[in-house]
Amino acid sequence: MNKNIFLLLLSQLFAFSLFPRIHDDAFAVNQRADLQDFLALQRLETKFDRLSLAEGLSQVVVTCILQDSRGFMWFGTVDGLNKFDGYTFTLLRNDSRDANSLSHNFIQAICEDHEGILWIGTFQGGLNRYDPITEQFQRYRHDPHDPASLSNDIVNAIYEDHEGNIWVGTNSGLDRFNRQTGSFQHFRHDDWNTNSLSNNRVRAILQHPGGCLWIGTHGGGLDCFNCQTGRWTHYQHQPSNPHSLSSNSVNTLYLSGDSLLWIGTDDNGLDQLQLRATSQARFKHFKQSAYRTNSLSNNIINCIYEDKNGYLWIGTANGGLDVFDPGTERFVHFRHQEGDYKTISSNNICSIYEDRSGILWIGTFRGGISKLNRAKIQFAHYFPSHDDPGGLNRHFIHALYEDDLGVIWVGTFGAGLIGYDRRRDQYNEYRHVPKDPNSISHNRVRTILRDRSGQFWIGTDGGGLNKFDRLTGRFKRFMHDPQNVNSIRHNGIRGLYEDREGFLWIGTFGGGLDRFDPRTETFTHFSTNPDNPFSISSNYVRAVVEDDSGYYWIGTEGGGLNKFDPATQQFYHFRADADDSSSLSNDYIFSIYRDQEGILWIGTWGGGLNRFDPRTLSFTVFTEAAGLADNVVYGILEDEQGCLWMSTNKGISKFNPATSTFTNYTVEDGLQSLEFNAGAFHKSKSGELFFGGVNGFNAFYPQKIEQNRHVPPVVITSFSKFNQ
């Protein structure tokens, strides 16, 4: 444990706080859905679980974490060692009457050796060897009268090298433990010998595959010890050399592969050393910057951990938890938010560990354990923030579209149209301005379409249709004019579709179906006529799809499914019939998707998913009884494997037509909410799927969504016979 945590503990004796409130970023961030573009900001809404005193943890300052070879989690605190089996904590503490108990309750380091033995370093209690079979501790303490004893009872770091040697970092130098004799060989700083340890306060130890032992010291910088030759190489801060180590106070070390050494300092940020470089060592520095939101959050680094995806998780003393992508060299931040129990429990991070199932465990100062199950949180969540006036400042999303430049166009229910450039993390807002005829006609945007010529069309709820020039930011309005029969029939728009001839089909909410010719800017109307059985069945139109034969399929609210024959100008109706199991399940239709086989998939409001074969004119219905998450299906998209993804009122459902099976996802998987919205779904050219709802929208690549295949080991911790 480094001196920051120790000083923070001492600070509790005084009536002041060392922890200023850090404001949250505009977005909470978790793991990316697209592994190729970290900064495209597929930000995941990260939801941490917490384990603290109420769950059985002995103390809320968690200094070190380890998963042993049997699968148990071990947490070192300032008041005992905690063993966690996934359900309950078992506390191991010092017992003054038992010489085989833990020597001291202030734990600073844990290490498991190749034999399954745990080595525990304490503050003022020396080193402990713990045998999990016998559950006995063996103590190693400093003895001033024994030169072969532990050099100091303050143990900061423990490491087992490739040959099975145990190395111990203390406040009096580096020790190598001889298992056969039980003695310690000491490596100390010698002012008169440059070939010695640079400083006796050893904070971190690790070994390069080539054999070099890297030692981080507090005050002497970074050392490399060649165990074969006994040669020491020192790396220290040189004010005149910008490529030298940034600070001589090193708190933590992490080796990425066999080529990158990461150094966390006590006061000057994060350093990177390329170990394969043939020239003189050059350290690359990453520091906090007031001018860059994607810089390191704090220059005091307590711990570093690289996850299975190659991201660095960095624990700072006051800046919370950072995630760093070496490819883009950008940081994203997780910070504690008062009152929100799904944020990280403290901005002071003491320890980080990823277990074999991919769960991240974060030990904090005064916040206990924060647990992040990233295997479940797989959907990028873009959501509004009250602190960011440039963000998505309306929760309700009703339309989504990604253009060729990677800009996501978002239709909101009250904030107009927003263009979000993920690569630049920038927003452009387009709102209705009453005195500006070139502004968008209404702030409720229901649908977005980009036609084959690249022209954007925006359908609003009350402002009719808008032609949008993204280069000038100007809108041309097409609104209902009672004096003009060629104007749009109704200003409430629910659906837009471009057919093969370039006509736009507009579904209105009360005015029926309109066909719009962009060349002449005229509208042709199709509305319900009680005297004509071949008119459209309802004036509330949600969805339009054209098939290969040139027929149009129209989904309505209350009028079921319509087939329109442009040659005869007649509509044919398919309605729900309670006495016919092969009929449509519900007359309220939200969406229609036509797959490569020509099958229509129909999402209804209360009738689930319908499969319709235009050749047989029969419907097959899939509801909650078949495994669908909810019988309200808003949007339907198909992935590259032929599976359908649907937004509902109870999350997202994935449907495999080949097996007729569903897989359902909820807010625990990272969804913006269980409730989604009609019209808010889109598939980009790259195959990324977007679904919007009442709390922002989700973005994900279907092939990245995986089931957790980790099978935890089964360990018998106790048994009883006749309640004994």
DSSP secondary structure string for all residues of 153-186: SBEEEEEE-TTS-EEEEETTEEEEEETTTTEEEE
Three-state SS string over 464-484 comes to CEEEEECCCCEEEEECCCCCC
> Under 8 Å CB-to-CB from 229, ≥6 apart: which residues?
none
Q: What is the mean pLDDT of the chain?
A: 90
SS3 content of the chain, % helix, strand, coil (to 5): 5, 45, 55
* The pLDDT of residue 5: 52
Q: Nearest 5°: phi and psi at 668?
A: -65, -20
Count CB-CB contacts under 10 A for residue 617. 12
**How much is the average pLDDT of 145-158?**
98
pLDDT at 141 over 50: yes
Residue 704, pLDDT score = 85
Which amino acid is located at 382 in the chain? Y
Identify which of 318, 338, 369 has the alpha carbon closest to the alpha carbon of residue 59.
369
- How far apart are the C-alpha atoms of 562 and 655, rounded to whole Å? 25
Predicted local confidence at residue 492, as pLDDT: 98
Per-residue pLDDT of 529-575, as tens digits, reads 999 999 999 999 999 999 999 999 999 999 999 999 999 999 999 99
The secondary structure of residue 668, as a DSSP letter, is G
Q: Which of 666, 669, 717, 675 is nearest to 696 (CA)?
A: 675
Q: Which residue has the higher pLDDT, 46 or 318?
A: 318
Is the pLDDT at 148 greater than 80, yes or no?
yes
Q: Which residue has the higher pLDDT, 41 or 182?
A: 182
Confidence of residue 2 (pLDDT cuts 50, 70, 90): low
6 in helix, strand or coil? helix
Residues in the chain: 724
Cβ atoms of 490 and 525 within 8 Å: the answer is: no
Q: Is the pLDDT of residue 127 over 50?
A: yes
Q: What is the pLDDT of residue 716?
A: 58
Distance between CA 138 and CA 158 in Å, rounded?
Answer: 16
pLDDT of the residue at 722: 66
pLDDT, position 312: 95
Q: 508: closest CA among 534, 481, 538?
A: 538
pLDDT at 340: 85
Rounded to an integer, the average pLDDT of 289-311 is: 92
Query: Structure tokens of 109?
Result: 């380091």
Confidence of residue 184 (pLDDT cuts 50, 70, 90): very high
Write down the residue that tokens 């195959």 correspond to.
687
Residue 183 has pLDDT above 50, yes or no: yes
Whole-number Å distance between alpha carbons of 186 and 233 = 17
pLDDT value, residue 388: 52
C-alpha span between 232 and 287 (Å, rounded): 28
Which pLDDT does position 668 carry in this prediction?
80
Is pLDDT at 11 greater than 60 in this prediction? no
pLDDT in tens, 668-680: 888 999 999 999 9
pLDDT digits (tens, 9 = 90+) for 644-667: 999 999 999 999 999 999 999 998
Task: Enumerate the β-bridge partners of residue 118.
Answer: 112, 130
User: Above 80 in pLDDT, residue 610?
Assistant: yes
Q: Dump pLDDT digits (tens) for 410-458.
A: 999 999 999 998 877 788 999 999 999 999 999 999 999 999 999 999 9
Distance CA 554, CA 544 (A): 5
Phi-psi region of 126 (alpha: psi -120 to 50; beta: other; left: phi over 0): left
What distances in angstroms separate CA 498 from CA 95, 501, 546, 614, one per listed residue?
Answer: 78, 8, 9, 21
pLDDT digits (tens, 9 = 90+) for 235-259: 999 999 999 999 999 999 999 988 8
What mean pLDDT comes out for the span 223-242? Answer: 96
Q: Is 391 helix (H, G, I), strand (E, B) or coil?
A: coil
Phi, psi of 273 (to 5 degrees): -125, 120
The DSSP-derived string for 515-554 is EEETTTTEEEEE---TT-TTS-S-SBEEEEEE-TTS-EEE
Q: Which of 43-47, 290-294, 610-614 has the highest mean pLDDT?
A: 610-614
For the CA atoms of 687, 640, 547, 407, what is the dihedral angle to 10 degrees?
0
Contact status, residue 456 vs residue 467, Cβ threshold 8 Å = yes
Name the band, by pLDDT with cuts 50, 70 and 90, for residue 714. Answer: low
411 pairs with which residues across the strands?
399, 417
pLDDT tier at 214, thresholds 50, 70, 90 = very high
User: Which pLDDT does position 705 carry in this prediction?
Assistant: 87
- Angle (nearest 5°) at CA 172 between 121 and 109: 15
Considering the chain, what percentage of its residues have pLDDT values greater than 70?
89
- 13-27 per-position pLDDT tens digit: 332 222 222 222 222
Over pLDDT 90: what percentage of the chain?
80
Q: Which residues contact 535 (CB under 8 A, 6 or more apart)?
A: 526, 527, 528, 529, 571
Q: How far apart are alpha carbons 281 and 221 in whole angstroms?
A: 14
End-to-end alpha-carbon separation of the chain, Å?
41
**pLDDT over 60 (residue 44):** no
pLDDT on residue 384: 60
Over 80: is that where the pLDDT of 391 sits? no
Confidence of residue 358 (pLDDT cuts 50, 70, 90): confident
Residue 576 DSSP code: B
Displacement of CA 434 from its chain's centroid (Å): 40
d(CA 489, CA 512): 8
Q: Facing residues of 653 across strands?
A: 646, 664
In this predicted model, what pLDDT tens digit does every residue of 93-103 receive, in sequence order? 999 999 999 99
